[in-house]
A = this chain, B = another copy of it.
Amino acid sequence: MTTLHELETPSLVLDRAILDRNLSRMQGRMDGLGVRLRPHVKTTKSFDVLRRTSAASITVSTLKEAEYFLEHGVTDILYAVGIAPGKLAHAAALIQRGANLTLILDNLAAAHAARALPVLIELDVDGHRSGVSPDSELLIDIAKTLGSSLRGVMTHAGESYNCASTGAIVAMAEQERAGAVRAAERLRAAGFDVPIVSVGSTPTATFAANLTGVTEVRAGVYMFHDLVMAGLGVCDIDDIALSVLVTVIGHQPERGWIITDGGWMALSRDRGTAKQQGYGVVHAGDGRALSDDLIVTSANQEHGIIARADGQRPDFTRYPVGSLLRILPNHACATGAQHTHYNVVEGSDSEVVARWDRINGW
């Protein structure tokens, strides 16, 4: 078996024990609230990860994900990006091949184009991005255009990523639930069947106190967690299952810098949102926290610059040229996408117990 020391860095490392704990914690929450969890696979993009869950239905962010998971036998798929008319033929082909694929949209032009396929109407509950207001006339007009294609409503409270407190996330979860349920009730009052009421984001799924009227919850990043989630109080640092293994390639003693081969190509350009920690928090090569408070302060394409967060000079003898470090990511979705596979480990054991491939692109 390979060990971490035999990997060519930078490499993506996934801690299976932490992953499994994150999966069962979220499943337990949803079971407690009596709602189906429909995991979003956009973070992990790997059937090897999905099979650790008990999910029979998934959410995807691209038709390529839909295609890949369909090939692995997953048929119940929600494509949660407003459908572009140019993608309808591809979507129809996936349905032909056995996918129980549902689309989303928020406008009449797309509704006209997509009338032959199963559709959820996308709702805007927080002014974050897409969707129609639950209280709008447009909601009813789109339903009329869709006719028997209509399967329900969905929304994503993306603003939950910008909440300043866990109390604010609890409130946002209720806003998300209430908006979706209100839209569903208006549609039912207008004579439509609305079997699906779909909501979710990792923060709102983690803090929702009540999901009455909701039929399913979507969340993705909870599987790996990251520094943004930790900054929001959604997880602890030791719930982060993903990291990038890097090698020290030099020092700049006067500036207090440790130079590594983990640049933004390996870490992604994501700078986080909730709490600024450069390009990531630095742990030891075996995954343990370091007593020095090291972060990646700057990154070039294939170089990372590590320094102490307090501005003090690190003890360079602890980080000699050739030694390994692990960088916890700001945003697991972005960091994962820079890599083709996961090197799976368990805890501080350096043995790579599995290699799990992931997909990228469109």
Taking a contact as CB atoms closer than 8 A, the residue among B8, B86, B266 that contacts A8 in the complex is B86
Known: A259-B130, A301-B333. A82 touches B269 (CB 8 A): no
Q: Which residues of B contact A51 (CB under 8 A)?
A: none
**With the chains together, A361 CA to B85 CA distance in Å?**
32
Interface residues on A, range: 35 or more
Is there an interface contact between B42 and A301, defined as CB atoms closer than 8 Å? yes
0/1 string, A338-362, CB within 8 A of B gives 1: 1110000000000000000000011
Residues of B within 8 A of A158 (CB): 300
Asked if A309 CB lies within 8 Å of chain B CBs, one says no
**Known A42-B302, A268-B269, A302-B62: A84·B130 in contact at CB below 8 Å:** no
**A residues engaging B (CB < 8 A)?**
5, 8-11, 42, 61-63, 81-87, 90, 105-107, 109-110, 113, 124, 127, 129-130, 158, 247-252, 255, 259, 261, 264-266, 268-271, 300-303, 305, 320-322, 331, 333-334, 337-340, 361-362
Q: In the complex this chain forms, how many copies of it are found?
A: 2
Pick the residue among B107, B322, B361 that contacts A340 (CB under 8 A): B361
Q: Is the CB of A9 within 8 A of B249?
A: no
User: B322 and A252: CB pair below 8 A?
Assistant: no
In Å, the complex CA distance between A349 and B87 comes to 22
Beta-carbon contact of A90 and B129 below 8 Å: no
Contact A249 B81 (CB under 8 A): yes
Can you offer 30 A-B residue contacts whose CB atoms are under 8 A?
A5-B86, A8-B63, A8-B86, A10-B362, A42-B301, A61-B302, A81-B249, A81-B261, A81-B302, A82-B250, A82-B259, A82-B303, A84-B248, A84-B321, A85-B321, A86-B247, A107-B250, A110-B249, A110-B250, A130-B250, A130-B259, A158-B300, A265-B334, A265-B337, A269-B269, A269-B271, A269-B331, A269-B334, A337-B338, A339-B361
Minimal beta-carbon separation of A335 from chain B (angstroms): 10
